[in-house]
Amino acid sequence: MSEISTDQLRSMTRELVADMGGDADMAQFRSEQFDRGLAVVQFPPRRGGLGLEPDAQAVVDDELASGGRHYHNLAVNPIGIGMGMPTVLAHGTEEMKDRLLRPCFTGEEIWCQLFSEPGAGSDVAGLATRAVLDGEEWIVNGQKVWTTLAHVSRWGMLLARTDPEQPKHKGMTYFMMDMRAPGVEVRPLFQITGEAEFNEVFMTDVRIPDSMRLGARGTGWGGAITTLMNERVALGGGVPARGSGNIGTLMKEWIGHAPPAGTAAYHVARDRVTRLWIRAELVRLTNLRARESASAGIPGPEGSVGKLLSAELNKELLECAVDVTGSRGMVHTHGYAMVRPEQAGGSGTFDTSRLFLRARANSIEGGTSEIMRNILGERVLGLPKEPQVDRDVPWSDIPRN
Ligand SMILES: Cc1cc2nc3c(=O)[nH]c(=O)nc-3n(C[C@H](O)[C@H](O)[C@H](O)COP(=O)(O)OP(=O)(O)OC[C@H]3O[C@@H](n4cnc5c(N)ncnc54)[C@H](O)[C@@H]3O)c2cc1C
């Protein structure tokens, strides 16, 4: 840690908790946390941080937890804090940083990510939503899909095509779109869990001021990479306490429903549970090591390691947890009435059947496991690249459905 010692950081955090007392609500508390640089410690002063190394955040979080004031960023504003704030910090103007960062961190303004389209998911650079400049404003027309939390969001991180005559990676621009602007329509998508946490978003002649452009015109791909790299770390880089999270769910079911001791079924299931425990601990320790060696800045392709390992592991842990419960596991306890989460952090139901069904999405959201393997193969291991026949072709000449 640079000029601020661990002890100093601890006492700064204790002071924050003491000064705010018990009456401040979450937004008030986190607003003060932001102003004192304890929000995202690797961010610069005045922007919620202190310019420290990222691992110093664990010291702050630890003290906040002891003081009963640790709010989980993924529950407060999952897309805004983990992915949006680093993107605005890297590519936004000073005015955008002043306007957007604090209310994002406090959770007063939820953000969503408007990247995927019906014809552009893994190949997001192929997207077709158009933004056309009209004086000092951009006019946006198109459709996005799978947009998590769009229905409660104030800001959408929008990737749109601004120059169709350029090759696909070069003709995009990144914007912050006001989700309350006229012409934005959000429709729910019903999921296997019974929830509708994500949406379709239709944009019809939506006007975005040029001042809400994130980075130079045509450089949207660079901004998108910042968002996606941070997304992979946010989704896969968590370091929960030993034995907590999905392995904790499996252990809870094992303790309650393991087959009778001494039977063949018991030995077989115990072997499976033990192997999963070891893998869960290996992923946790790998993420811990990655966090300790991370330096401030935009995460690299190594972030895909944690994303890939935890996505695949989560599915296996929860499959095993459902198997352990026996025939009870065939019932989705929560039922299928459509629930629309009214805030970030989902519906708050964490029964095993919901976790099992939700985990199916882990190897799709934030980039599929196949795409993670491609990134690791090409950018970490240096294997030959996938052929890209459309890389230098103008987007408008690429055949589409
Ligand atoms: C729960 C959830 C939340 C999401 N939230 C958001 C959000 O908030 N905002 C947003 O913009 N998007 C969001 N997404 C969308 C997500 O990013 C895409 O679903 C994902 O990138 C895959 O794109 P696709 O669904 O179009 O599948 P496709 O890209 O059509 O892929 C189909 C299959 O082909 C495989 N494949 C594709 N290309 C290759 C390749 N080059 N090599 C090997 N295999 C390949 C894929 O791995 C997959 O198995 C969310 C998705 C889920 C499930």
Q: Summarize the confidence of residues 162-188 as an average pLDDT.
A: 97
Looking at the CA of residue 144, tell me the nearest atom of ligand 1.
11
**Ligand 1 centre distance from Cα of residue 121 (Å):** 5
Q: Summarize the confidence of residues 389-397 as an average pLDDT.
A: 92
Residue 290: is its pLDDT beyond 90? no
Q: Is 173 left (phi over 0), alpha (psi -120 to 50) or beta?
A: beta
* Range of weakest confidence among 106-120, 261-275, 333-347: 333-347
* pLDDT-derived band at 283, boundaries 50, 70, 90: very high
Q: Is 277 helix (H, G, I), strand (E, B) or coil?
A: helix
Q: Is 400 left (phi over 0), alpha (psi -120 to 50) or beta?
A: beta
Instruction: Tell me how far apart the alpha carbons of residues 141 and 68 are, in angstroms, rounded to a whole number.
Output: 46
Q: Summarize the confidence of residues 254-258 as an average pLDDT.
A: 95
Q: Summarize the confidence of residues 188-210 as an average pLDDT.
A: 94
Q: Is 202 helix (H, G, I), strand (E, B) or coil?
A: strand
pTM exceeds 0.85, yes or no: yes
* 363 Cβ closer than 6 Å to some ligand 1 atom: no
Contact predicate 139/131, CB 8 Å: yes
Among 197, 231, 253, 302, the active-site one is 231
* 116 Cβ closer than 6 Å to some ligand 1 atom: yes
Please give the radius of gyration of the chain, using alpha carbons only, rounded to the nearest integer: 22
Q: Whose Cα sits closest to atom 41 in ligand 1?
A: 371
pLDDT of the residue at 206: 98
**Ligand 1 centre distance from Cα of residue 368 (Å):** 6
Looking at the CA of residue 116, tell me the nearest atom of ligand 1.
11
Q: Whose Cα sits closest to atom 16 in ligand 1?
A: 365
* Range of weakest confidence among 145-149, 192-196, 248-252, 258-262: 192-196
pLDDT of the residue at 295: 64
pLDDT of the residue at 103: 98
**Ligand 1 centre distance from Cα of residue 358 (Å):** 15
* pLDDT-derived band at 328, boundaries 50, 70, 90: confident
Q: Which amino acid is at 242?
A: R
Tokens encoding 216:
């130079």
pLDDT of the residue at 324: 95
* pLDDT-derived band at 286, boundaries 50, 70, 90: confident
Looking at the CA of residue 122, tell me the nearest atom of ligand 1.
29
pLDDT of the residue at 339: 84
Mean pLDDT of the chain: 92
Residue 329: is its pLDDT beyond 90? no
Tokens encoding 76:
């407060």
pLDDT of the residue at 345: 63
Question: What phi, psi does 385 have (nearest 5°)?
Answer: -75, 155
- Burial class from Cβ neighbours inside 10 Å (0-12, 13-18, 19+) for residue 32 reads middle
* 198 Cβ closer than 6 Å to some ligand 1 atom: yes
Instruction: Tell me how far apart the alpha carbons of residues 79 and 398 are, in angstroms, rounded to a whole number.
Output: 31
Q: Summarize the confidence of residues 199-208 as an average pLDDT.
A: 98
* 148 Cβ closer than 6 Å to some ligand 1 atom: yes
Tokens encoding 44:
């610069």
pLDDT of the residue at 293: 67
Instruction: Tell me how far apart the alpha carbons of residues 92 and 155 are, in angstroms, rounded to a whole number.
Output: 14
Looking at the CA of residue 115, tell me the nearest atom of ligand 1.
11
pLDDT of the residue at 93: 97
pLDDT of the residue at 52: 93
Looking at the CA of residue 113, tell me the nearest atom of ligand 1.
9
Instruction: Tell me how far apart the alpha carbons of residues 382 and 192 are, in angstroms, rounded to a whole number.
Output: 38
* 378 Cβ closer than 6 Å to some ligand 1 atom: no
Residue 1: is its pLDDT beyond 60? no
**Ligand 1 centre distance from Cα of residue 365 (Å):** 6
**Ligand 1 centre distance from Cα of residue 102 (Å):** 30
Residue 128: is its pLDDT beyond 90? yes
231 classed as catalytic = yes
Q: Which domains does the chain have, with CATH numbers?
A: 6-106 (1.10.540.10), 111-224 (2.40.110.10), 225-380 (1.20.140.10)
Q: Whose Cα sits closest to atom 32 in ligand 1?
A: 122
pLDDT tens digits along 57-66: 989 999 999 9
**Ligand 1 centre distance from Cα of residue 122 (Å):** 5
Share of the chain above pLDDT 90, in %: 74
- Give me the helices (H) in 36-117, please: 57-66, 73-76, 78-79, 85-91, 94-106
